[in-house]
């Protein structure tokens, strides 16, 4: 049997993915004939370096001829070598990945493939990863060629906006407009500009009298809420001339930052003016809640707002006041009736009170939260702190005792406060080979595994993810076992996360690339557990990961940062592709962590915050959030992603500390106070496994 791909490549430290990461649509739209001028050179290089481009066979095992032929055909397609591609393609009809060669062929010929043939192929492969992208590209090609009848026959239920508009256009051209008016209105009435493909449909809608005054104002409202000024002013043409002056006035107020919004009290009181003022106040509240409250107080008596609208404005003022930690937050909160204080509002009220360390009030607000929120470990921890620090409860706290039994951020904090060992109870995987083989025998998992062996890592992840989504939850841990057996760490992590089996620590926190990580951590004077915790949080151990922000690889480094750090430290820089390899990513990522550690006076909390949100955001937060206890500072951060990211890195670091050494540095020791650098709890914790009852008893 082949060794797991990651183990085969582990010592080579070579990229596992020979094709660049693209979206489904961009993959579909990339032509088979691209780079035709470099075909011979590129093709020869890929054949000569096939052992580098693709995962290699295990020692002592014969290469799979079909797999090798597939690789050659796929690379020939990439190089525009039609003859080689078609010759090999026809010889692989019994190979599991043959439909991927068909997909490549159909993608290239999508404008000329007979409709029935393409429709049948897509129908027969509706559960394959390439199907959605190929279908969209095909339908778009039908629209470009004006094949409206074929488009209508094969595009029912499409959700892509451009295709919905093309379908509507086809109905107009073919005279099938019954019921089309409402569809066209739903496409038009959105708070953003729609694709150019929608223009003919919107022209028909206008000529048909479908853009009514009320519909126009609805779209204007949506555009105002989305802060689309140009669109708002464009839409003015669809409202009566005598009403356009309100939009001109709104635009003037907006450009001045709503500084003179109270002048609108001279406006007449009607539905339109109230709508404009409501959206203006809500936009202003996001930037300056106190000013929004003052403007609303001056306007309130001049307009007959409905109660629900008034409450919505007051709620937004209170929310954004709390997010900004403004002094007037309690006053703004008091103006929102208790029945209308939703979970988001209550959580931010609690964070405001936490920033002020108003412990009695904090306990009261947590008690008002719905059960699914207040029972979260986050708020149970802060409730325990509120009760202890307000004197409502004398130590030891039963809540902290319960939390100390959990292997998470709040559990580790609770254990530190109580001086307890860390309670980590791993489950030992006991999944039989027959069960793993059953999942491995499923066609969709076979596709994912074979694509990975072929080196098409992105397609492999897509196929595996679709396959895992179709499994019952009870089988997800078996899928994780299969992924672990294959050395596919990230798929095991995701499968276990979705299954709820979080105590399979060996699989959830694998010691992949241990030698390389320890070497680079040591070279930069970093704790290897912290590097592991960062990698696990950033990429979930996906070597070729790429985010929407173009951050790449294990440590999610952007090309700009990678180039800058490499130049500063004299590290090799061969372009952004190296960031998708262990060898090219780790030296830069760890050097970047060392730079941040120096910038933030050896405070890992601030380093993680900057790593996630950037140094500019951390600078703002250092000026606006409460200095002092790191846990309080983190909990009051305005970015929910960073507010969750820092505790996740700290918890994962703790678990990796245990996985690497057995004894663990206390999590509080990694959290110096924001202002002074003081560390409240130092030292190390032993790791034990005890029941919740034992945990509670130890605190008594």
User: What pLDDT, on the 0 to 100 scale, is given for residue 679?
Assistant: 87
First to last CA, the chain: 55
- Statement to judge: residues 490 and 526 lie in one domain: no
d(CA 689, CA 696) in angstroms, rounded, equals 13
User: Could you read off the pLDDT of 316-335 as tens digits, one per residue?
Assistant: 999 999 999 999 999 999 99
Domain shared by 595 and 689, yes or no: yes
- CATH code, domain with 442: 1.10.1240
Instruction: Please give the C-alpha separations between residue 490 and each of 55, 98, 397, 511, 536, in angstroms, as whole numbers.
Output: 17, 26, 38, 12, 9
**Long-range contacts of residues 564-570, Cβ cutoff 8 Å, at least 24 apart:** 565/591, 565/592, 565/595, 568/595
Q: What is the CATH number of the domain that holds 86?
A: 1.25.20.10
Instruction: Write the pLDDT tens digit of every residue in 403-435.
Output: 999 999 999 999 999 999 999 999 988 899 999
pLDDT score at 207: 97
* pLDDT tens digits along 496-512: 988 878 899 999 999 99
Q: Is residue 194 part of a domain?
A: no
Query: Are residues 144 and 42 part of one domain?
Result: yes
Of 95-104, 454-463, 630-639, 684-693, which range is least confident?
684-693
403 within a domain of the structure (yes/no): no
Q: Domain end: 502, 525, 553, which one?
A: 502
Do 442 and 579 lie in one domain? The reply is no
Label residue 146 left, alpha or beta by phi (over 0 means left) and psi (-120 to 50 means alpha): left
* 80: pLDDT strictly greater than 50: yes
Backbone φ and ψ of 678, nearest 5°: -65, 140
Farthest CA pair distance, the chain: 87
Q: Which two tokens stand for residue 678?
A: 């003081």
Handedness of CA 82, 83, 88, 90 (dihedral sign): positive
CB 422 within 8 A of CB 406: no
Q: pTM of whole model > 0.85?
A: yes
Instruction: Tell whether 9 and 153 lie within a shared domain.
Output: yes
- Beta bridge partner(s), residue 552: 546, 557
Mean pLDDT of the chain: 90
Distance (Å, rounded) from C-alpha 408 to C-alpha 427? Answer: 16
Q: CA 301 from chain center: how many Å?
A: 44
State the CB neighbour count (10 A cutoff) for residue 207.
Answer: 9
Q: How far is CA 359 from CA 129, 232, 351, 352, in A?
A: 52, 46, 11, 11
Q: Quote the DSSP letter at residue 328.
A: T
- Residue 4 confidence (pLDDT) above 70: no
Q: In this predicted structure, which of 37-46, 375-384, 453-462 has the lowest mean pLDDT?
A: 37-46
Question: Under a CB-based contact definition with an 8 Å cutoff, are residues 329 and 322 in contact?
Answer: yes
Whether 565 and 595 have beta carbons less than 8 Å apart is answered as: yes
pLDDT, position 428: 83
CA dihedral 16, 21, 23, 27 (to 10 degrees): -80
pLDDT for position 2: 33
Domains contained in the chain, number? 4
Would you list the DSSP string of 383-435? HHHHHHHTTSSPSSPHHHHHHTTSSSHHHHHHHHHHTPPEE--PPPP---HHH
Of 35-49, 268-282, 550-564, which range is least confident?
A: 35-49
The secondary element (H helix, E strand) that includes residue 687 is: strand 687-688
Task: Please report, for residues 286, 301, 322, the alpha-carbon distance to residue 308 in angstroms, rounded to integers and kept in the order given.
Answer: 19, 16, 21
Range of the domain at 497: 433-502
C-alpha distances in angstroms, 422 versus 351, 415, 417, 667, 670?
Answer: 27, 6, 12, 10, 15
Whether 10 maps to a domain, the answer reads: yes
What stretches of 270-410 adopt beta strand conformation (E)?
none
Cα gap 293→305, rounded to integer Å: 15
Under a CB-based contact definition with an 8 Å cutoff, are residues 278 and 312 in contact?
A: yes
Residues 552 and 678 grouped into a single domain = yes
* CB-based contacts of 43-49 (< 8 A; 24+ apart in sequence): 43/75, 43/76, 43/79, 43/81, 43/84, 46/18, 46/75, 46/78, 46/79, 47/72, 47/75
Q: Which ranges of 146-212 would DSSP assign to H, the alpha helix?
A: 148-154, 161-173, 180-188, 199-207
Confidence of residue 63 (pLDDT cuts 50, 70, 90): confident
39 pLDDT band (50/70/90 cuts)?
very low
pLDDT of residue 634: 98
- The reported pLDDT for the residue numbered 677 is 85
Q: Are residues 18 and 93 in the same domain?
A: yes
Angle between helices 98-108 and 115-124 (to 10 degrees): 150
Give residue-wise pLDDT tens across range 191-211: 999 999 999 999 999 999 999
Residues 126 and 243 in one domain: no
The answer on 570 and 683 residing in a single domain is yes
The gap from C-alpha 27 to its chain's centroid, in whole angstroms, comes to 21
The answer to the question of residue 528 being in a domain is: yes
6 pLDDT above the threshold of 50:
no
**pLDDT value at residue 92:** 95
For the stretch 163-193, pLDDT in tens is 999 999 999 999 999 999 999 999 999 999 9
Q: CA 107 to CA 639: how far, in whole Å?
A: 41
Question: What CATH number corresponds to the domain at position 577?
Answer: 1.10.530.10
Which pLDDT band holds residue 697 (cuts at 50, 70, 90)?
low
Do residues 556 and 692 both lie within one domain? Answer: yes
- Residue 546: half-sphere exposure toward Cβ, Cα within 13 Å: 18
Rg for the chain, CA atoms, rounded = 30
Give percent of the chain with pLDDT exceeding 70: 90
Listed range (29-38, 349-358, 405-414) with the worst mean pLDDT: 29-38
Q: Same domain, yes or no, for 257 and 284?
A: yes
Contact 5, 452 (CB under 8 A): yes
User: Would 267 be classed as within a structural domain?
Assistant: yes
DSSP 8-state symbol, 552: B
Q: What is the mean pLDDT of residues 56-79?
A: 78
Which residues, in sequence order, are bridge partners of residue 684? 665
In a domain, 595, yes or no: yes
Q: Where are the alpha helices (H) located in 4-155, listed in sequence order?
A: 5-10, 24-29, 39-48, 50-53, 65-78, 82-89, 98-108, 115-124, 131-144, 148-154
Domain co-membership, 566 together with 683: yes
Statement: residue 642 has pLDDT above 60: yes
Judged against a pLDDT cut of 80, whether residue 101 lies above it is answered with: yes
Last residue of a domain, one of 171, 203, 220: 171
Q: How confident is the model at residue 676 (pLDDT cuts 50, 70, 90)?
A: confident
How far is it, in rounded angstroms, from Cα 59 to Cα 570? Answer: 36
Own/partner contacts of 153-160, CB < 8 Å, gap of 24 or more, are 153/115, 154/115, 154/119, 160/136
Task: Identify whether the C-beta of residue 249 lies closer than 8 Å to the C-beta of residue 224.
Answer: no
DSSP string covering 659-672: HHHSSEE-GGGG--
Domain's final residue, options 502, 532, 560: 502
Inside any domain, residue 661: yes
Q: Please check whether residue 511 lies inside any domain of the structure.
A: no
Contact 482, 82 (CB under 8 A): no
């Amino acid at each position: 049997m082949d060794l797991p791909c990651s183990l085969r490549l582990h010592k080579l430290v070579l990229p596992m993915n020979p094709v660049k990461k693209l979206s489904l649509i961009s993959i579909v739209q990339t032509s088979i004939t691209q780079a035709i001028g470099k075909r011979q050179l590129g093709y020869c290089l890929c054949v000569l370096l096939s052992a580098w481009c693709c995962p290699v066979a295990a020692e002592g095992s014969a290469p799979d001829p079909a797999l090798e032929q597939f690789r050659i055909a796929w690379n020939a397609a990439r190089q525009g070598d039609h003859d080689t591609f078609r010759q090999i393609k026809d010889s692989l009809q019994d190979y599991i990945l043959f439909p991927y060669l068909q997909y490549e062929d159909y993608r290239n010929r999508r404008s000329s493939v007979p409709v029935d043939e393409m429709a049948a192929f897509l129908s027969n492969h509706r559960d394959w990863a390439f199907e959605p992208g190929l279908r969209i590209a095909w339908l778009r090609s039908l629209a470009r060629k004006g094949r409206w009848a074929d488009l209508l026959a094969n595009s029912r239920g499409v959700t892509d906006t451009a295709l919905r508009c093309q379908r509507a256009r086809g109905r107009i051209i073919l005279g099938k407009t019954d019921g089309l008016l409402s569809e066209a209105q739903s496409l038009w009435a959105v708070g953003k500009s729609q694709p150019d493909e929608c223009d003919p449909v919107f022209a028909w809608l206008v000529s048909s009298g479908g853009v009514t005054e009320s519909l126009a104002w609805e779209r204007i409202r949506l555009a105002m809420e989305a802060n689309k000024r140009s669109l708002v002013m464009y839409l003015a043409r669809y409202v009566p001339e005598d009403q356009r002056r309100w939009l001109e006035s709104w635009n003037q107020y907006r450009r001045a930052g709503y500084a003179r919004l109270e002048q609108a009290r001279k406006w007449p009181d009607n539905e339109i003016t109230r709508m404009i003022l409501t959206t203006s106040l809500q936009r202003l509240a996001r930037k300056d809640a106190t000013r929004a409250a003052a403007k609303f107080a001056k306007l309130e008596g001049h307009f007959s707002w409905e109660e629900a609208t008034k409450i919505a404005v007051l709620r937004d003022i209170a929310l954004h006041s709390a997010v900004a930690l403004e002094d007037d937050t309690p006053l703004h909160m008091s103006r929102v009736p208790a029945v209308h204080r939703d979970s988001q509002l209550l959580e931010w009220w609690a964070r405001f009170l936490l920033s002020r360390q108003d412990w009695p009030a904090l306990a009261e607000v947590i008690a008002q939260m719905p059960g699914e929120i207040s029972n979260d470990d986050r708020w149970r921890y802060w409730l325990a702190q509120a009760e202890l620090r307000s004197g409502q409860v004398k130590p030891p706290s039963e809540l902290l005792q319960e939390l100390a039994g959990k292997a998470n951020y709040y559990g580790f904090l609770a254990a530190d406060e109580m001086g307890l060992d860390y309670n980590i109870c791993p489950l030992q995987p006991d999944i039989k080979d027959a069960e793993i083989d059953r999942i491995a025998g499923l066609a969709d998992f076979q596709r994912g595994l074979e694509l990975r062996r072929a080196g098409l890592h992105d397609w492999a992840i897509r196929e595996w993810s679709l396959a895992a989504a179709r499994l019952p939850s009870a089988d997800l841990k078996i899928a994780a076992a299969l992924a672990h057996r294959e050395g596919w760490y990230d798929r095991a992590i995701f499968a276990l996360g979705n299954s709820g089996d979080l105590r399979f620590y060996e699989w959830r926190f694998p010691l992949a690339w241990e030698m390389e990580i320890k070497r680079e951590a040591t070279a930069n004077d970093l704790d290897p557990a912290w590097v592991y915790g960062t990698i696990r949080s950033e990429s979930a151990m996906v070597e070729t990961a790429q985010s929407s922000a173009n951050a790449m690889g294990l440590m999610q480094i952007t090309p700009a940062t990678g180039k800058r750090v490499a130049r500063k430290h004299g590290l090799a820089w061969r372009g952004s592709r190296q960031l998708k390899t262990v060898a090219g990513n780790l030296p830069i990522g760890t050097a970047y962590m060392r730079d941040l550690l120096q910038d933030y006076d050896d405070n890992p909390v601030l380093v993680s915050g900057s790593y996630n949100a950037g140094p500019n955001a951390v600078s703002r937060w250092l000026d606006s959030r409460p200095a002092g206890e790191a846990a309080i500072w983190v909990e009051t951060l305005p970015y929910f992603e960073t507010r969750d990211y820092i505790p996740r890195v700290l918890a994962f670091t703790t678990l990796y500390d245990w996985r690497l050494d057995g004894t663990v540095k206390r999590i509080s020791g990694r959290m110096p106070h924001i202002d002074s650098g003081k560390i409240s709890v130092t030292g190390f914790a032993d790791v034990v496994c005890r029941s919740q009852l034992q945990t509670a008893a130890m605190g008594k």
